[in-house]
Every structure is written in structure tokens, then in C-alpha cells.
Amino acid sequence: MEDFITHMQLNMQSKQYTRIKPTVINLGKRFEIPSFSFGISSQVLEILSLQWPVRGDASYIAGLSEPIIAVELVQPKPGIFQPHIQYLLCLATTVEIVLLGVKMHPLPEPLFAVPTDGAYIVTITGTTNGRIFMGAKRWLHLRILLSGITNSKTSRKCRKINHSKSTLSYLVPSFINAAFSEEDPIVQMVQDETRHILYTRSEKGTIQVYDLGTDGQAMTRVAAINTNTIVQSAANIARTVNRSSFLPLVGIAPIESSESTNLHLVAITASGVRLYFSTLPWRAFNEATPSSRPATLQLVQVRLPPGYAANASPQRPQQVHSALYSHGTTFLATTTASENDVVWTLSNSLFPAAQQLSETQNTLGLDGKTWALAEVTPSLKRQVDPSTFAPPAPEPPLIVTQHAVAPRKFIFLTTQCCHVVTQHMMHDALGGHSPTAVRAFFQVLREDQACATALILACSTSIQDSQLADWAARAFSLLGGDVKVSPSHMAHPISSPASPFVVNSPGHLNSTPSNFHHQQPHFTFSSDSGGLGTFNPNAISTHMKPYSPLSNNVGTSSGGAELADYQFSGRHNGLYLYFGRILRPLWLVPLARDVGKPHQPLLDSVVNSEELLTVLGQLNALKEFFHANIHQNGPQSYQSSEKGRLQDAQMQERKSLLAMKQLLDHTVEVLALWKVLCDHQLHLLGQSLSAEMQMSLKTTLFRDLILSGSDTCIGLINALIHRYSDDAASTDAISEKLRQVCPSLYRNEDALCTKVNEQLLKARTTTMSRMDKERLLQQTLETCKQIPARINLAHVCQQLSACQYFGGAVELCCVVAEKLDPQHRAQQCYSGQQEDPAAVEALLARKNYYQQTCLVLQKHVHGRCLPSSVAQRAQITRNHGTNDSTGIRGGSKPIRSAAVGRRNPFSCLAIG
């Protein structure tokens, strides 16, 4: 029993942790599963369900007669189990492997039970497509890699497959295999889900690579590298480091394609050294893609822990027995002389644009010996994955996405308690009260990056953060720097890789590594168990070179001429950086895509309404901050200078900020319009669009819609309005909504035009009394008079004529002619007093308006003088008497004015 417990693996489930009493905790892979955990007794096995983090009663679920030696929660293969089986709990005992079906509550009966055949399972891992891999150890200490669960046409069965043996090995007797086999069992397995690669680590430090294929269904052993080869390769890279620092290995972790293209695996030694491996040959680095298949395993880089630099503190991690690496953050659990472990934390998120790889470090004391380290999957996912529609590329650093992602949580399980620690974002460093710490933060991150980070707090709309937002706004204004003018020999700056803008940092940003020993912590780890730790950047494992304010400028001056050039301030660049980071998830994403059945595709938005709401909330907060703090004459802290060059530089920055303000306002309106379309079921609205418009929506990016998509926006607005009109619904509500969210795209004149169309349609299609109809048409006429330049006069006159409202149509033509030519240029051109192009254009417009008047009168006369039957003609004669030459009895005042206007087109300007 002691031998079994010694070889038990330490693992953790995301939001679930398996507790084996009295001494072993099992932590495993991350899955999106409900918040419950499993507890397991190591003697007479007892499985229980326990809610986490909410406290609840533990309920026993099943019991086995043998002790557990490995456990893992995995996803089932599609099509194998019943639909209600959402997950599988894989348990390995001394005699068999048991699979339990898990729904919201684990089922009491095992789905499968497979004998172990004399081997005991040391480690288990599962893939997202349902494959289960187990590292086993026989009594003869043979290395075994098993996988199971297959589905045949006749029956479903679960069987073990030994991938560590060849076919010929089954022909050799077992005692011969035992005599010539090396004792080196597998102790750890990890998988790269993004590349479908499985890595194993043996007890003696041998690392193997298995290719699972592009679909994750294959199994091919690609390469293996033993400890001696690893040490020799590491010694060739780090020649000044003792070879003993490169062994033994205590853990391995995959590096996903979202983090790096060429680096695939990191191994951590007992001294804290990190060894980075690649599965691609050197010649394939330039052509590497996320879909590239592994071909080898070679050491690429050696990363030393803190304490190896000449000017570093003498403290360094020693006797590392557990390690965790996840997306640039490393945790090293070290053994100390006392009963308590110390965890070293290393992170490179603070220096994404440093010319040298630099990290911050921190130590955290734990209660008891560490059993396991694991990361809890954040509850908030990334809003939109741009890589789904754009070429695959590594994810940006945390400084770019910190405004949109949740803080990462990690769990440290010890013999005494469970520590739940939270890694706060970089902007949390600005939450302190010390001005010195804030200034140091701006020095470390540089002005533009620090301003962009400060905007996260300054744009906060939470009432609890109001005071903090004011402090961040003050820091943004006071420490953001000013426009700088440089002579010609400094006029060609090189921008940093992390920013498209150029900032010539002032001299006070010169810093040596000693500056980092006094910084405000940018990560804070709070322990749920009552302890409180701090993750301070008080030391750098790989120190940065001193930064010079002139290092960003190259070039020489010819002839000694002092040609002026300038660099925008950190405030300016920070605003653009933060604005771009908010839009980054949407920028290269298409507007719509086909969903539904292939023969009946439906048009649906790629970004849903909830995601748009999140982005719009951040943009509106930035918009409010911009309007409150950035005025037309520049930031409030700007001071006018008598130097012409500096004034010109400040003017250019003000113009740039004004352009950004216009772009920000327009972006908010465009995205708000798209959200309105999503709320009105875009897949139904798309059915009324033309095939050309539908194809345009599937190929147009949000970038194109924002920068040059005004016509597309207008077309979508018209389609939405027509949908209301086709359903005979009032357009008042949707018009008011559009006026609120996108006033520049849907102006007040557009709302009045929509109202006119609705009233005309109602007058033509709705049965009502003659008085009500005349009242409605009179309202329509008055509305048209308010927007003479926006209406389609020919269409409106046609609709009014169809409603037998000829007088109103003639009156509208005269009013439009008067309001669009208030200076009577057309009359002056007609009388020969003026012949400039504007007058000629006004005359042609007047003729067009009066032509519409004549068409209305002709329709009226034609309808009165050509009845469809003799009886109708007699009825018309009896009712209306003898008509005059115009066909209108008595004639109305507007029509008489129009008749006179045919002789003199400028005599009908006054309508009674």
C-alpha cells in the first residue's frame, strides 16, 4: 500500500478537485463542467460529490473494494454513450480500471470495468474527443502507455491498447522482456489540445512525443529524448551553469499554439531551470504553422531562475518538487527546512515589449507540504476569437487583453489546507495610495503603455471605483508626458514592437534593475484559506538593460540643419492603444455567416448581442472619459509654448485627438446599430435582403463597416424599417431607438421620412373615414414640409395622388420649390438677370418641381374626364356640374396658382 501511495500522481480538476484521504490530492485537466468536486478515500474507496466554491453537503455516490491509485475526469467519445452521459470519471485501482458516467450527479453503476492485468495506473489524461491515455507500471517496472474505449459496429466495448510495445514484442516471452527492459515507468502525461500532441515524462527524465494526428484520432510515436541528451544540450546553451542544475526533471507542460509557434514544450528541473523544446527542426521554423506536425524533439532555449545573474539577490529556488507552467506564468514549489513549502512565482506579463526577456518574481509561503498546483479555468471566456476568421497567430500578451479577461486563479493544495490565489491584472498596481508607486509604475511600463493601463481604471463606471477612477485619471493627465520636439538627428524614431506609436521617453525613465526592488506589486494573490500573499516585481530573473531616452532615435544630421520632428505624448498614444485593444477582437471578424441547414442557410451575426454589449460598454466608458478630460484644445495639462515648432507639434496632436474622437463616436454608433439588428433577429431580416447584400455581409469585416460602410449601414436601416412596414407595425419605437443609438447614421430627417412612408402606406391600405383620411394626409403633408430636401418628391406626389389628395401634392411641390431656392436665383436666371452655375441649377430644379405639379394635375384631370362607363360619366356630370378647361369645378387656390405658374413659373411662390 505504501508503494501505491508513493506513486500516486498529484492532479487537479478545473473547479473540481479530488481529495484522497489522508494524504493525496488528485488534480487534473481543465474542462467546462459544473461546479462540483470528487472526494475519494484511499482505503475502502468512497466517492462523494461536493460543491465548490459554494459550501454544501457531501453525498456519497459509489464504493469500490480496492484503493484508487489514479483518477481523472474526461469527456466521453461522441456516439458511444447515452446522451445523458456528459462526462466520465476514470478510476484506476490495483485490479481494474473503472469508468463512471457523470451527469449533474455521477451515476452509481460503472459503465465499464477493465482489468489491469497486473499493472497499476500511475497517471491518466483525457482528450476533448473522448480518448483516454494512462501511464501504467507493472510489477516488473515496465513502461506502459494505454488508451481505451472503442466503438465497433456490433457492440460497444472498452479495451486497453499498449502503445509502448511493438507487435513483435508479443512474440517474446514476458520474462525475457523483463530481463532486457529498463526500469523507467511513466510518471506524467500532458497534451497540447491545440496541436494534438501527447507528451510523456518517465521517472528517469525521458521525454517522449506522440503525434495524435490533425484530428486527434491517430497515435504515432515521433521522438524520445533521454536525460543525458537533455543535459548535454542544455550545457551547450548555458555553458557557465553547472550541469547539476539541469536534472532531475520535476515536471513538463505544453506550450499551446496560441502562445508560441515554434516552442512546444517546457520542462522544469529541480533547481528551477526551464528548458524549452520544439518538435520542429530548425529549418522549419520560418514555415511553422499551428497545424505543423511534430517531427523531432530538440532543446531550443534554457531559462534560468532568479539568483543566477551577477547583480541578483543570492536567494534562488532550490529543491523544487512540484511545478506548474501556464501561459507565461511559472510556479515552483520548493522544499524548505521547516514543514512549510515556499512557492516561487515567475511572470513575464509586465514586460511584453522588452528587448530582453524579463520577468517579475515573488515568493509565497504555504501551510504544509505542497501536494499539487493547478490553474482554475476562468469563468469568463474571451469575447470573440479573431483567430477563427483571421490567420492563426499567437495571442497577444496580458497587457493587451487585461481589460477583457477575468483574473486567473490558481490552487495550491497542501497537507494542511487549500490555497486559492488570484493573479490580479497590471492595472491593479495603480490601486494603491502611494504616489511613488504610481510614478514607478509609469517608469517601468513607459508612458504610452502605462497610460493605456490607467485608462482601464479611469473608464470604470462602477460606483465603488469612482475614487479610484479619479486617481487614475489624474495619473493619466499628470504622468502621461507631453509632445516632444527633436532635431533632425533624432527625427527618425523606431517604435517599440508593442505599440504602433512612437514615444521619446524622458530622462527620468532611465532605470537599472535595482529600481524594481521598490515597486508597488502588480500582482496580488489572495488566499481563500485566510492567508494573504503578495506577488511583487521586487526582482527580475533576467534583468533589463538600462533604458536610454535616446535609444529609440537613430539617424544623423547632414549640413547641421535643425529640422524639426515631434513625437506624440504618452496620453495620445495611450488613448489610441486602449481604443485599439477594445476593438481588436472584432476588427478582422466578418459581419455575418451562414447557419442552419446547407440547403436552407440562414444569415446570422458572427458576434452575438451579449458580446457587442460588452464592447459597447467599454467604448462608451472611453467616450465619456474622452469628452470629460480631452478637450478640443488638448489635455488640460497642456501649456502653450512660444516656440513655433512645439506649437505646431501640439496642434498636430490636437488634430489627431479630434480625429480619434470622431472615429470613436462613429464606431459606437455603427456597433450599436449592429446590435439593434442582432436584437431584431438578423437571420429573419436577412431573408428580405438581396443576394448581393447577403454576400456583402458575409465578406465585409467590422473594420470595413466602421471605416467605409456608411452605404451598408443605410441599406440595413432601410431593410429594418421595411420589415416594420411590411408587418403593418408602427415605426415610432424603432425610429426613436435608431435616433438614440446612431444619430449620425439615422438623423431626424430620416425619422421624419420613415414617418411619412408609414402614414402614406396607412392611408392607402387602411379602411378609415374620409375625414380621418384627410387628417392623416394633412399630417403627412406638414411632415414633408419640414424635410423638403430629404423627400423623394416624385414618389410622395405619386402616393398622395393615389390617395386622391391632389391639392396637397401640388402644395408640396410649391413649398419644396420655395424652400430649396429661398434667394429666388431661378427667377433671376429666368429673367436673364443672373446666369451663374448655381442659378442655372436652381432653375432646372424649379422646372423639375413644376413638372411634378403638372403630372399631378394631369392625373387628376385624366381621372375626372375618363370614367370607366357612361353611367359613371353621368354620375360625375350630375355631381360636379360642367368642368372648366382644367377639368376642376371652380378650381382650388393651390391648383389655380399652379395653372398660372405654367405661364410664369415664379408666380406661384406664395401659397394661401
Assigned C-alpha cell, 406: 477575468
- Binned at pLDDT 50, 70 and 90, residue 232 comes out as very high
Looking at every residue in the chain, the average pLDDT score rounds to 73
Please compute the mean of the pLDDT values over residues 209-234 and round it to a whole number: 92
- Binned at pLDDT 50, 70 and 90, residue 542 comes out as very low
What pLDDT is recorded for position 177? Answer: 59
Number of helices (H), then strands (E), in the chain:
23, 40
- Binned at pLDDT 50, 70 and 90, residue 599 comes out as confident
Domain boundary assignment for the chain: 1-183, 747-912
- Binned at pLDDT 50, 70 and 90, residue 408 comes out as confident
Please compute the mean of the pLDDT values over residues 419-431 and round it to a whole number: 78
Percent of the chain with pLDDT over 70: 69
pLDDT (tens digit per residue) in 748-765: 888 888 888 888 888 887
Which carries the bigger pLDDT value, residue 868 or residue 367?
A: 367
- Binned at pLDDT 50, 70 and 90, residue 181 comes out as low
- Binned at pLDDT 50, 70 and 90, residue 120 comes out as confident
Query: Which among 67, 65, 62 is positioned nearest to 49, based on CA atoms?
Result: 62
pLDDT (tens digit per residue) in 706-719: 999 999 999 999 89
- Binned at pLDDT 50, 70 and 90, residue 171 comes out as low
Q: How many CB atoms lie within 10 A of CB 758?
A: 20
Q: Work out the angle between the directed axes of helices 644-679 and 732-741 (0-180°, nearest 10).
A: 150
pLDDT (tens digit per residue) in 602-620: 889 999 999 999 999 999 9
Most confident of 463-477, 562-576, 661-675, 815-829: 661-675
- Give the three-state DSSP class for 509: helix
Q: With 70 as the cut, is the pLDDT of residue 578 above it?
A: yes
- Binned at pLDDT 50, 70 and 90, residue 697 comes out as very high
| CA–CA dist 519, 507 (Å, integer) | 19
For the whole model, what pTM was predicted?
Answer: 0.73
What pLDDT is recorded for position 229? Answer: 95
Residue 531 is inside which H or E element, if any? none
| Full DSSP string of 748-767 | HHHHHHHHHHHHHHHHHHS-
What pLDDT is recorded for position 148? Answer: 56
Which carries the bigger pLDDT value, residue 391 or residue 85?
A: 85
What pLDDT is recorded for position 227? Answer: 94
Cβ partners under 8 Å of residue 107, min gap 6: 85, 100, 101
| CA–CA dist 630, 627 (Å, integer) | 6
What pLDDT is recorded for position 517? Answer: 32
Per the CB < 8 A criterion, the answer to whether 195 and 278 are in contact is: no
What pLDDT is recorded for position 704? Answer: 95
Cβ partners under 8 Å of residue 744, min gap 6: 665, 666, 669
What pLDDT is recorded for position 217? Answer: 85
What pLDDT is recorded for position 179? Answer: 58
Most confident of 157-161, 237-241, 594-598: 237-241
What pLDDT is recorded for position 643? Answer: 61
Q: With 60 as the cut, is the pLDDT of residue 771 above it?
A: yes
Q: With 60 as the cut, is the pLDDT of residue 31 above it?
A: no
Most confident of 48-57, 195-204, 555-564, 792-801: 195-204
Please compute the mean of the pLDDT values over residues 53-63 and round it to a whole number: 48
Listed in sequence order, the DSSP H helices in 130-211 are 174-180
pLDDT (tens digit per residue) in 341-381: 999 999 888 777 666 778 888 899 998 888 888 888 654 34
Could you give the C-alpha distances from 500 to 129, 572, 601, in angstroms and in order?
41, 12, 40
Which carries the bigger pLDDT value, residue 561 or residue 134?
A: 134
Q: With 50 as the cut, is the pLDDT of residue 332 above it?
A: yes
What pLDDT is recorded for position 234? Answer: 95
Q: With 80 as the cut, is the pLDDT of residue 301 above it?
A: yes
Question: Cell 402614414 appears where?
Answer: 759
